[in-house]
């Protein structure tokens, strides 16, 4: 007796559905971060900043963050993570140098300025409220991130003492 194989009439749709099911579990979830305690005018400025941030940074797409209301943002995997309303960065003093990119002064600890692909923690030091950005070594050098973030930072924060 001859058995017939069933005919798949919509093979393209079935293939698409199968591919969709296998990749659905692969997307990264929200990026968790430790939000700084922000109040008053800094909270308003941080909200404006988060709302004004670009959809991509260093060619990486924006991701959800947890907590959502924590004045932060993230892009890519591994994630570039921004926190608004941070304090003065460790190691920064009146004799520290900073890097100015598109009107925003950034402090990067000297031990991270190696010319090699390393994780970078950079903080604005001429703006209120201050913004901190963690950049994984995958996105080295940090210049593209600085350029991509500058318009939103300058639009939503007040320049204090300019970096020299």
Report the alpha-carbon distance of residue 93 to residue 121 in Å, rounded.
16
- Decide: 162 and 126 in contact? Cβ < 8 Å: yes
Sheet of strand 80-86, all strands in order from the earlier edge strand to the far edge: 56-57, 60-63, 72-75, 80-86, 130-135, 120-124, 104-107, 99-101
Stronger pLDDT, 49 or 69, i.e. the higher one? 49
N-to-C CA span, the chain? 88
Residue among 151, 147, 132 at smallest CA distance from 38? 132
Q: How far is residue 53's CA from residue 135's CA, in Å, rounded to a whole number?
A: 16
Assign 137 a pLDDT band (cuts: 50, 70, 90). Answer: very high
Question: Is the predicted pLDDT of residue 109 greater than 90, yes or no?
Answer: yes
Exposure string for 57-96, b = 16+ CB within 10 A, e = fewer: bbebeebebeeeebbbbbbbebbbbbbbbbeebeeeeeee
The 10s digit of each residue's pLDDT in 28-65 is 899 999 999 999 999 999 999 999 999 999 999 999 99
Domain locations along the chain: 30-159
pLDDT attached to residue 23:
42
More confident residue, 86 or 28: 86
- Please report which confidence band the pLDDT of residue 162 belongs to, taking 50, 70 and 90 as the band edges: confident
């Amino acid at each position: 007796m001859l058995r017939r194989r069933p005919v798949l009439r919509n093979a393209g749709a079935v293939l698409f559905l199968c591919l969709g099911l296998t990749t659905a579990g692969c997307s990264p979830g929200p990026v968790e971060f430790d939000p700084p305690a922000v109040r008053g005018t800094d909270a308003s400025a941080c909200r404006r900043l988060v709302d004004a941030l670009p959809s991509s940074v260093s060619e990486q797409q924006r991701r959800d963050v947890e907590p959502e209301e924590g004045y932060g943002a993230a892009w890519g995997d591994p994630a570039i993570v921004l926190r608004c309303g941070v304090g003065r960065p460790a190691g920064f003093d009146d004799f520290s140098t900073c890097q100015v990119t598109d009107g925003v002064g950034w402090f990067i600890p000297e031990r991270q300025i190696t010319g090699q692909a390393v994780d970078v923690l950079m903080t604005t030091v001429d703006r209120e409220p201050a913004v901190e950005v963690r950049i994984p070594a995958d996105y080295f050098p940090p210049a593209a991130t600085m350029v991509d973030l500058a318009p939103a930072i300058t639009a939503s924060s007040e320049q204090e003492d300019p970096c020299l």
